[in-house]
Amino acid sequence: MNKIIIRFITIKVLNLPRNFKRVLAISLDSSLCLIATWLALSLRLEELVEIDTKYLVPASFSVGIAIPIFFSWGLYQTIFRYSSRQAIKILAKATAVYTIVYGTIFTIIGLEGIPRSIGLIQPMIIFFLVCISRWVVKILLEDSPYKRSLHDNLKKKSVIIYGAGYAGRQLASSVTHSDDFKVICFIDENKNFWGTTIDGYQVASPLEVGVLIKI
């Protein structure tokens, strides 16, 4: 019975509209910001702090700063169950920007009644919590046998990506997890790339497009 319920929930979640999934991801990260603030305060004060009005300030600032930064770095453009090493790198960079802003407010400037060290402790906890959340969801959904069985029989269209640079690799990462397309290879004008493999895909010359299309 439990397996049937898990399968039902998994399929339902996978079939949710993309925008709704994005809202869920943002809501999750907002909750993690609140939890990170509480944990940071508890660690700093060496006791479990009670919810107090003054502590809502750093929590509110956290959500208001983190979500726009994460959004601008594209963390919600690709559904987070498809997280990869590249996504973790982007998260690290976004968190670094967040740390600068949040740390400036609470560590450098400081607010009365709020420990200055929160500006450094809290961002580290956020990074840890968000990484864990992505990993857990990845395990539950992407690696689920129910997910694989749901899409195994779908016929995907072949895609050739022009450009093996950063933008091309980002596109390949997104297309790889698409239910409609599959990446065949990269093509690039840079001769140094020809015959090499990037992110598991061969890089070919633009002159070979005619042959590749027939594959």
The pLDDT assigned to 105 comes to 95
CA distance 181 to 174: 10
**What is the pLDDT confidence band of residue 146, given thresholds at 50, 70 and 90?**
very low
pLDDT at 69: 95
pLDDT digits (tens, 9 = 90+) for 60-77: 999 999 999 999 988 887
pLDDT at 201: 82
Our CA angle for 114, 67, 17, nearest 5°, is: 145
Question: pTM of the prediction?
Answer: 0.62
d(CA 137, CA 149): 18
pLDDT in tens, 95-140: 999 999 999 999 999 888 899 999 999 999 999 999 998 888 777 6
Note the pLDDT of residue 141. 63
Q: Determine the Cα angle at 33 with ends 30 and 37, to 5°.
A: 150
Neighbour count for residue 194 (Cβ, 10 Å)? 18
pLDDT in tens, 12-49: 666 667 778 788 889 999 999 999 999 999 999 888 88
- How sure is the predictor about 166, in pLDDT bands with cuts at 50, 70 and 90? confident
The confidence score (pLDDT) of residue 153 equals 39
Note the pLDDT of residue 65.
96
Report the pLDDT averaged over residues 155-170: 83
pLDDT band at 150 (very low <50, low <70, confident <90, very high): very low
Separation of alpha carbons 97 and 6, rounded Å: 37
DSSP string, 118-181: HHHHHHHHHHHHHHHHHHHHIIIIIT-HHHHHHHTTPPPEEEEEE--SHHHHHHHHHHHT-SSE
Q: Could you tell me which of 72, 87, 70 has the C-alpha nearest to residue 173?
A: 87
Helix (H) or strand (E) holding 201: strand 201-204
pLDDT at 5 over 70: no
Mean pLDDT rounded to a whole number for the chain: 80
Query: Above pLDDT 70, what percent of the chain?
Result: 78
**With bands split at pLDDT 50, 70 and 90, how would you rate the model's confidence at 154?**
very low
pLDDT at 157: 79
* First-to-final CA distance of the chain: 45
